[in-house]
Structure 1
Amino acid sequence: MAPKYADNFYEPLTEDVEDLLGRFQQKDSIRFDDFSAIWRDMRFSDVFLGIFGMGEMRKFCKVAMITAAKYFLPPYCFQIRVGGLYLIYAFYHTQLVTPPVQIRLALRDWDYVQKFLQDSMGCGHLDVVYIYRKLVSSKAFHYTAIPHLLTFQKPKRPQKQKVCSEMLARATAVKELLSEDYLEEVTNIQNRYEKMKQDLEEVRHQATMTHIQFTSRLKGTLTEFVTWQQNTFHQTNNEDKEKPIDEEDSRSRATLLASIKKKSYGKREDHRSKSRRHRQEVVQSSSSGPEQEHEGADLNPGRPLSLRARTWKTLGKNTEQSELAPWLLSAPDHEGVPLRQKWQGRYKQ
């Protein structure tokens, strides 16, 4: 059967893309030559093979473009975003449909793309800017208002895609404070402040606006925070990858759910309506004999007796099962019991 792709993403394709970008991240490089070598080694262009029908092929190409564009935008780090841009370029030039499927670039993402290009130009990564301009010149981008196509058959609750934590961009503001230029500037300001305090004898001992050895204490605190952030990040990744499953916890959870369901169903049966309970008891009494009627009457003393039970009680008859025919209302005391006459057909005039 033909594969049924999701509205925006396809999980097996996402796993392969993350494998490709993971290898590119291990290279610790953002050169296009390294990315193309990994692409050829994995033979990633074969993802478009084996799909029959141009409609199904175009649908898969849209899914591939959306999946690649996801890694080109935040919150991923700079290297993964570069890999996402290279992946868009590779998908666009290896797809097997004509005209080629374009990449939807929403208006809200335009600022992120421009800042990405400015950072690439500032760091001298000209191959990144070249690949982007090649896509623009090929008219590969489709500038839209929203990232996905708006249709009337969208699910009410769209599927949430899991974000690979190893590819996320961590906060670098703390690391920027550890630069030698910044610490040297703080040291110069501290020395100048102390010198001004010594020149003013009146406020030498009264004003203490800064800490002693502020630069060394700041460097130690920042180093400790960066170490804690790295340890916490790797520990979280290891816990997500290798999370043991305790059989006892699963069994206790299953037992707890079963007890909750049993209690809920029991309460549901107790709160039946009076009409339903009466109907059920009437059906049971009609299918049973007079003995079961009296037993039911003894069990429910507040309920009035039926007409037949009151008649038997008034006549003083025994409520045990009688040998008389059920259709005979009265019978003589002798043993001979008249038989029921058969119907002779039409009535005589």
Structure 2
Amino acid sequence: MPRRPPIYSELCDPLLTEDVEELLGHFQQRDSVRYQDFSSIWREMRFSEIFLGISTQSELRRFCRVALDTALKYFLPPYSYQIRVGGLYLMFALYQKQLFKPPVNIRLALRDWTHAQTFLIDSVDSGHHDVVYVYQKLVFTKAFHFTAMPQLLTFQKQRKPKRQAMCTEFLGRTTAVQDLLSTNILEEVKNVQGLYETLKQATMGGQSHVAVTHSDFTSRLEDTMSEFLTWQEKNFLPQGSRKDRHEEEVGESSSRRARLLSSIKQKSYSSHQEGSGSRSRRHRHLEVVDSTPQQVQRAAAPRRKKPPSLRARTWKTLRVPQEDGVFLPWMMSAMEKDE
């Protein structure tokens, strides 16, 4: 009897991912990192019932592992800080609510340990005590299982995990350009550029046209950074603002289409009025356009040459004369009236 395949995959579950993204999307709209807001959304969506309905212990253990791995995915970069906080809270809630005993641990690879420590330091510096408490609670209860690889490696298993598309609305914005524009780096670059120009004039005496840098480098750099920040504001809007902008674009396109239809109707109505005042078409004289023989020859489509018949090809092969009324005695194709 063949072995029954498992219901839940070892790597990911698309339906679970959709529910998790919906939960984190509501948490992102709250614009908060407090555990109280997350727990209210957890109760509203009745997420605590996610482990119910699984009969066998093997499937329950497999589903717990998949759920914790899915939550861990949103705890790591490149997602924004708020989404990572939501992923941490989700890991804590799933670990506490799982029905499997002993509880399934959260696999944290060595390559992700640095990201977790950086996240903890940023939370401490920002004063987010809820985040620090939940993380320390997971550590003290020994919820993390520190491993070398993020996935369990076994014999005859899938080596390449399925990579799902990341939700672009959860990705963190790049703040390096904004920090560069807000600091005094541009002034320092401008001062260095002026010092370079002064030394070049003193050394070369204004006779050399060699320039290592552009004279307007600072202004061009500032314009490029401003353009990038403008593009970032347009493409990383919240969901509500993006929806409003989409509705505005739809309204503008519909109004543009209505104006176009009205102009077409107006033109057709004016042409109809002009045509009704003139004579009927059957009384109009056809205009004869003089065309040269070359134009007629170009207009005529080339006719395909008809291939010779089987009889003609046979005569050509046997070298039979084709004069009218002349048939040799040995010819099998002679007509009865000519015999």
Task: Name which of 4, 13, 16 aligns with 1:10.
Answer: 13
Taking a change above 3 Å as real, the CA distance of residues 2 and 13 of structure 1, as seen in their structure-2 partners, is farther
Letter in 1 for 2:11: N
User: Take 1:208 and 1:158, find their aligned partners in 2: how far apart are those partners?
Assistant: 52
Matches within 5 A, 1:325-336: none
SS of aligned partner of 2:91: helix
Structure 2 unaligned residues grouped into runs of 5+ = 244-339
User: Take 1:197 and 1:21, find their aligned partners in 2: how far apart are those partners?
Assistant: 57
CA deviation map 1:39-82 (0-9, x unaligned):
12212111112222333222211111111111111222222111
Report the Cα offset of residue 6 of structure 1: 0.9
Task: Name which of 63, 67, 83 aligns with 1:64.
Answer: 67
Report the Cα offset of residue 120 of structure 1: 2.0
In the other structure, the counterpart of 2:309 is none
Letter in 2 for 1:27: R
Question: % of aligned pairs identical?
Answer: 57
Higher relative contact order by CA 8 Å / sep ≥ 6: 1 or 2?
2
User: Take 1:191 and 1:123, find their aligned partners in 2: how far apart are those partners?
Assistant: 39
In the other structure, the counterpart of 1:162 is 165
In the other structure, the counterpart of 1:122 is 125
| Bigger mean CA deviation after superposition, 44-53 or 89-98 | 44-53
Aligned Cα root-mean-square deviation (Å)? 3.3
Structure 1 unaligned residues grouped into runs of 5+ = 239-349
User: Take 1:222 and 1:143, find their aligned partners in 2: how far apart are those partners?
Assistant: 41
Letter in 2 for 1:120: S
Task: Name which of 91, 99, 104 aligns with 2:102.
Answer: 99
Letter in 2 for 1:140: A
In the other structure, the counterpart of 1:228 is 231
Query: TM-score, length-normalised on structure 2?
Result: 0.59
CA deviation map 1:148-199 (0-9, x unaligned):
112223135542222212212343322221214444555666677788899x
SS of aligned partner of 1:105: strand
Report the Cα offset of residue 203 of structure 1: 5.6
Taking a change above 3 Å as real, the CA distance of residues 29 and 194 of structure 1, as seen in their structure-2 partners, is farther
User: Take 2:198 and 2:45, find their aligned partners in 1: how far apart are those partners?
Assistant: 64
Taking a change above 3 Å as real, the CA distance of residues 213 and 156 of structure 1, as seen in their structure-2 partners, is closer
In the other structure, the counterpart of 1:287 is none
Letter in 2 for 1:46: E
How many residues were matched structurally?
A: 235
| Bigger mean CA deviation after superposition, 125-134 or 98-107 | 125-134
In the other structure, the counterpart of 1:138 is 141
User: Take 2:5 and 2:204, find their aligned partners in 1: how far apart are those partners?
Assistant: 87
In the other structure, the counterpart of 1:31 is 34
Letter in 1 for 2:33: I
Query: TM-score, length-normalised on structure 1?
Result: 0.58
Residues 1:110 and 2:113 aligned together? yes
User: Take 2:185 and 2:229, find their aligned partners in 1: how far apart are those partners?
Assistant: 17
